[in-house]
Homo-oligomer: A and B are copies of this chain.
Amino acid sequence: MTRGDSPETVLTPAAASERGEFALLRRLQARLGAPGAAPGIGFGDDMAALAPAAPGWLWTVDMVMDGVDFDSRVHDWATIGRKAMAVNLSDCAAMGVAPVSALCAVALHNGLTLADAETLILAADACGREFNCPVVGGDTNSWDAPTAISITVAGQVPPGGAPVPRSGARPRDSIWVSGPLGGSLLGRHLTFTPRVALGLELARTLRPHAMIDISDGLAVDLARILTASGGLGAVLSAAALDQVVHADAFEMAARDGRSPRAHALHDGEDFELLMVLPANTDPAAAQALGLHALGEVVADAGLWLTEAGGARTEIPPLGWEHFK
């Protein structure tokens, strides 16, 4: 089953689980990390600092797997290779980092032909090159199991800039998103354009306090920012949220009976940028970059939705989580 085919598997009570990916990451964060690495940059952020001896260089790795992140029975290998690269470029976007080069490691199912393998890897390279990030090396393997693709991307902070972590949100900061959300499973999760240029522009101009790309859902990824920022909370405006519900979310809602708003909040793989801007940011400057306001950071931990009438409901921290 592909990630998100069933709402039951998509919506796991991530924050409540002690057996999930989040728990593993918490344990690893406590034990790992290079001395000298930039604070807040490492296991659990979108990219890690490469090394103290390589200032300004960050890197990231993402593994995508058949039956989870793509479905080789339905998707062609060029589309799959493109996605394997694009998810990494999206991580660069989320840090305000320019992607520079990539490594591609594959464990290919034995049923693939040589042409399939070549198509996959060249598509990853072609996608990378659109963003000045060619594949410069890798590792090719085959096995009886489903195909797994692991791409590593290294990138550079622009001169005078700084990587944008997840951990810098403060109470009263405003929350923004770069595009409409929900229903990406209808196809956008494979064909999205990583917001590399926007991420760089944002880091240079509006200097977000925190940024992330929405891979596991607005609610979960916003919660990641709030947790990384010391246990803050957020209040989202329902009216504002309704402005960023993607047409695909309505189509999904018509199919499965969940609300379009729920799809916008909890579907993953939108790969839009979600960011927290300083409280004194001119909204017009953010809007000029195509950003949509969503709400405000608050001191109390938790995630709430405020209706126009003032009614406030808690948003459950549901979304995609591996390793449940």
Contacts and interface: CB of A to CB of B under 8 A. Distances in A.
A57 B101 CA distance: 12
A21 B145 contact: no
A71 B47 CA distance: 31
Chain B CB within 10 A, most for which of A65, A121, A138, A150: A150
A229 B156 CA distance: 33
Contacts of A19: 114
Contacts of A21: 140-142
Interface residues of A, number: 69
24 contacts: A18-B114, A21-B141, A23-B114, A28-B118, A28-B140, A32-B121, A37-B136, A48-B136, A50-B101, A51-B101, A54-B54, A54-B57, A59-B103, A59-B154, A62-B105, A68-B143, A105-B150, A105-B152, A107-B148, A108-B323, A140-B323, A142-B324, A145-B145, A148-B150
Given A33-B134, A142-B324, 20 more contacts: A19-B114, A24-B118, A32-B121, A32-B122, A32-B125, A32-B134, A32-B136, A37-B136, A42-B136, A42-B137, A51-B136, A59-B152, A59-B154, A62-B105, A62-B139, A103-B152, A108-B323, A141-B323, A148-B148, A154-B154
